[in-house]
Every structure is written in C-alpha cells, then in structure tokens.
C-alpha cells in the first residue's frame, strides 16, 4: 500500500504533521493534531491497561533531563553512538550504516567497527547520495542531546534521556522500598525520549523526539523458569523467528520453552504478552513476528534479545525491543553511585536481573494506521478500521440539515452521549461529506437526527464498517451504542433496518 495516501489523510484530518511547520521545520520532529493525540493517548492507555494494570507493574514518571553521571554509569556517553560519514565535496552528513544498507543492501550490525565500515564503503564504491562526492572516514557520533543546566558560567552538564528506562534504574531503590516490592516485579514508564539522529526519516519511524512505553521486570536469575502466570499463555501460538533455523514458525509458548527456542518461562510469557498486545490493536497476526537478534545487532548490555516487528509496505518495522539486560544496569549504577542496589531474598543478597520491554509508541501508532487503513473505491474515500478501544471518537452526532430545530435536537443527543462516550459533533457540509470525514478518522457510529426525530423521538445510526443504517429511539441510544461497541449485539438486529 502507498504510505503517501495515509500521510495525506494524516495531515488533512489532524493526525500528525511536521513540527513547527509555519516556520522552517527541523527534520525528525513531528506534532500530533487533535485526532492523532487522542489515538496516541488511547494506545498508551491500552498499554497501561495491558501491562501496568494486568501485570501489576509500578508506574513512575521521571524527568526528561538527567545529570551526566547517570549516562556515564549507564554506558551511554561511551557507547550510544552511530557511525557518521561526511561528503568531502558538499559537506552533507550521513549515517554510514543506513547508507550502506540503502546503496549496497548490506546490513551493518550495531557494533561494527569504523575500520570495517570504511572497508565496505571502499569496496562497494559508496558515494555521497546528494552529489556523488567522495566520503570521509567513519567516526562515531554520540546521539544524546547535551544541555547546560543553570546560568552559563556555572552550567552543569546534563542530557535529555535517550531512553526512558534509565529513570527506572536510578529510581529502583526508591520504588523497591516504598512499595515493599517482592521479586519478580516490574517498573514501567510512558514518556518522551530524545536522540540526535543523523538522518531522521520515514515520518514517525525515526524521530529525534519520540514516545516510549517501557517496563523493566526485575527478577532473581535463578528463577527465570519459575513464573506462575506462564500457565495462562502456554497454549498461545507465537510467530517466532529464532537464530536456530531462521524460519518463521508458529509455535506454542510451552513448546518454544521446551525446545529451548526461548530461554526461560518468564521471557516466553512476556513475549507472548507483547504479541497479544500488538494484535489487540488491530494488527493481524500474519503481520507480527518475534525475531531473535543476532550477536552483532544486540546492544552491548543485552545477553539475549527479541524484536517484535510489524510488516508494512516499508518492510518489517521494529515496534518493541525485548532485552535480557541481566544485572548490567543495576550493577553499573551501583558501582558508579556507591549505593547498594541489591535486594534480599530468602536471606540472600542478590542483584536482580532485568527483562526489558521497550515499545515505541509512535511506531506502534504508525503501524496501527497502516493496518487499519482501508482503500475503498466503492465509497469513494479511504477510511480507518480502528478497533473500538483505541478509536479517536466512539461516535459522531449530526443534524441532517441546519434548520427547523434539527440542530437543537442533535445538540440534545450530543450532550446526552457526551457523558458516556467520546463524541464528535459536526454540522458543516452535506451529510455525505460528514460521513466521509467520520470514516476518515475511523469513527465507528454516526448518529443523525432528522425531521422524524422531532416527531418520533428517534434517530438513525450508521455503521462505519458496512455503511448500513438502523433506526432507534433516542432514549435507548446510550444503551445500544454501548452494546454495539462491546459487540454484544449485531448491528442490524439493534434497531429497525432502513
């Protein structure tokens, strides 16, 4: 499918667009409009329900700016870099690994040396994509945004966090003590992260400021195979791509653990939960895979890692990174801060290990829009089939025409429904245009008041998915809409067909 079509709707209907567009925009910054913001908040809330509520994680909210010492301890100052090359002719800057991937089709893993990268560039005769000029040797560029906090003379060096999880690690002790937590337990956070990307691109997919939902699950490494909730998912089938045979296969969670495809019940459980979550957002199972990362692409802190990818016409998009971070983070912060971050379990002091779920919210939203987008020649417009729980608005209310008290009646209905649902009121343009507008932002049901409504106290409901209409009494509207959203009744049986 053509991504441009989705981007056109995204801009026209207020999902998202380049940041500060009336000025000169800087690449890699995108703003959400009213519809996109609602959609994003609902995806975040679903994540909250699915993980924080159901998994009983502790949710925290930390600052975006943290002192340099945090990132020295975490290894970001040294290791959070991308390979950079510059054109000797036009001076433009390029991310070397991505350039090689685009020009030569060679995947460059995260930890490849500059020497090796220079060799590939030379061998494949890769030139500047802008002017065909000669490229410099590769050097590493740190992707964190550096800040000076306080008046210039005494400014303290700090950084915008490049991932939300460091807040969780530095707060570990506070949460552990305050909540009297017992292993295994999770700490989660939804927030903004910042990366000074060399070449941001593909709209929401690689931005310089973006949203993450992250959970760090702390556990005793001796008990990675003791996880009671494993039973709940053991028969669920995963779309698994492991390093063993490099073939995508459907395998139950129980079999994946038994055959050693996934090392540990705790890990298998959370991988299943991730696949379930992505699927619940309207992304079909065929378009989801859990892919084990190779040794070379795994970040330095991870012993074992799976990406949850979603298939789109731009290829497989990594939406959630799942990492076994061992005790790397707590040990590093402990060493650098001098604070004891060990916990006592059965009289024994241990440093908990960490399984991390790191989800890109903007990427998820992009993939949801991609998979919910319906190209509809018959209707004459394209629309979004969002699942009810993340829909920007549950229903729209319209007067058929703008006269004879019809708007007054529609407003009455709107005020009534607004107490229970997210409702969109619209009276501009023909009714056909208003239906098209509602479809384009994915609204499930449109309620229209007409002349009969004044006499009969009833109204028309239109179903987004079928465009069929039924007639029901206004007094039953709240109840019936609720049943329709929960899929408790069939649309055509909910009222009098028209």
Binding site for Zn ion (CB under 5 A): 87, 89-90, 92, 128, 130-131, 133
> Closest distance between Zn ion and the C-beta of residue 99, in Å?
11
> Closest distance between Zn ion and the C-beta of residue 88, in Å?
8
Q: Considering the complex, state which of residue 14 and residue 133 has its C-beta at the smaller distance from Zn ion.
A: 133
41: left (phi over 0), alpha (psi -120 to 50) or beta: alpha
Structure tokens at 439: 């479809």
> Closest distance between Zn ion and the C-beta of residue 94, in Å?
9
Q: Considering the complex, state which of residue 128 and residue 190 has its C-beta at the smaller distance from Zn ion.
A: 128
Helices 96-104 + 114-123 axis angle, to 10: 30
> Closest distance between Zn ion and the C-beta of residue 126, in Å?
12
> Closest distance between Zn ion and the C-beta of residue 200, in Å?
19
Q: Considering the complex, state which of residue 136 and residue 221 has its C-beta at the smaller distance from Zn ion.
A: 136
> Closest distance between Zn ion and the C-beta of residue 25, in Å?
22
> Closest distance between Zn ion and the C-beta of residue 198, in Å?
14
Q: Considering the complex, state which of residue 139 and residue 250 has its C-beta at the smaller distance from Zn ion.
A: 139
Whether the CB-CB separation of 156 and 149 falls below 8 Å is answered with yes
Q: Considering the complex, state which of residue 87 and residue 305 has its C-beta at the smaller distance from Zn ion.
A: 87
Q: Considering the complex, state which of residue 128 and residue 143 has its C-beta at the smaller distance from Zn ion.
A: 128
Q: Considering the complex, state which of residue 99 and residue 365 has its C-beta at the smaller distance from Zn ion.
A: 99
């Amino acid at each position: 499918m053509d991504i441009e079509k989705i981007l056109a709707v995204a801009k026209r209907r207020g999902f998202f667009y380049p940041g500060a567009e009336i000025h000169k925009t800087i690449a890699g910054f995108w703003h959400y409009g009213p519809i996109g913001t609602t959609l994003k908040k609902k995806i975040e809330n679903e994540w909250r329900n699915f993980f924080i509520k159901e998994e009983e994680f502790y949710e925290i909210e930390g600052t975006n700016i943290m002192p340099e010492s945090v990132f020295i301890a975490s290894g970001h100052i040294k290791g959070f870099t991308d390979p950079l090359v510059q054109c000797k002719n036009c001076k433009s800057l390029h991310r070397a690994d991505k350039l090689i991937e685009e020009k030569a089709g060679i995947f460059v893993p995260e930890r490849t040396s500059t020497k090796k990268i220079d060799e590939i560039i030379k061998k494949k005769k890769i030139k500047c994509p802008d002017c065909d000029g000669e490229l410099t040797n590769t050097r590493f560029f740190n992707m964190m945004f550096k800040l000076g906090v306080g008046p210039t003379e005494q400014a303290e060096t700090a950084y915008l966090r490049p991932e939300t999880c460091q807040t969780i690690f530095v707060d570990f002790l506070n949460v552990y003590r305050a909540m009297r937590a017992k292993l295994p337990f999770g700490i989660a956070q939804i927030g903004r992260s910042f990366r000074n990307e060399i070449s941001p691109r593909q709209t929401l997919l690689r931005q310089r400021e973006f949203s993450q939902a992250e959970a760090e699950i702390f556990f005793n490494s001796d008990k990675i195979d003791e996880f009671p909730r494993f039973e709940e998912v053991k028969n669920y089938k995963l779309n698994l791509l492991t390093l063993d045979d490099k073939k995508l296969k459907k395998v139950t969670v129980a079999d994946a653990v038994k055959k050693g495809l996934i090392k540990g019940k705790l890990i298998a459980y959370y991988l299943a939960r991730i696949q379930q979550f992505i699927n619940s957002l309207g992304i079909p199972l065929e378009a989801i895979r859990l892919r084990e990362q190779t040794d070379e692409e795994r970040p330095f802190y991870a012993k074992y890692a799976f990406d949850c990818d979603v298939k789109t016409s731009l290829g497989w998009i990594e939406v959630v990174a799942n990492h076994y971070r061992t005790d790397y983070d707590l040990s590093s912060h402990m060493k650098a801060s001098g604070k004891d971050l060990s916990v006592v379990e059965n009289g024994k002091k241990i440093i908990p290990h960490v399984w991390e779920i790191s989800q890109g919210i903007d990427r998820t939203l992009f993939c949801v829009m991609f998979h919910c987008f319906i190209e509809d020649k018959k209707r004459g417009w394209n629309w979004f089939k969002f699942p009810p729980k993340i829909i920007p608005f549950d229903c729209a209310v319209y007067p058929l025409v703008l006269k004879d008290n019809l708007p007054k009646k529609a407003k009455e209905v709107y005020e009534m429904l607004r107490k229970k649902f997210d409702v969109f009121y619209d009276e501009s343009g023909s009714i056909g245009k208003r239906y098209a507008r509602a479809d384009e932002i994915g609204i499930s049901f449109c309620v229209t008041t007409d002349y009969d409504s004044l006499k009969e106290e009833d109204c028309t409901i239109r179903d987004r998915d079928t465009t069929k209409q039924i007639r029901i009494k206004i007094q039953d509207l709240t109840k019936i809409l609720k049943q329709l959203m929960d899929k408790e009744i069939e649309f055509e049986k909910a009222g009098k067909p028209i």
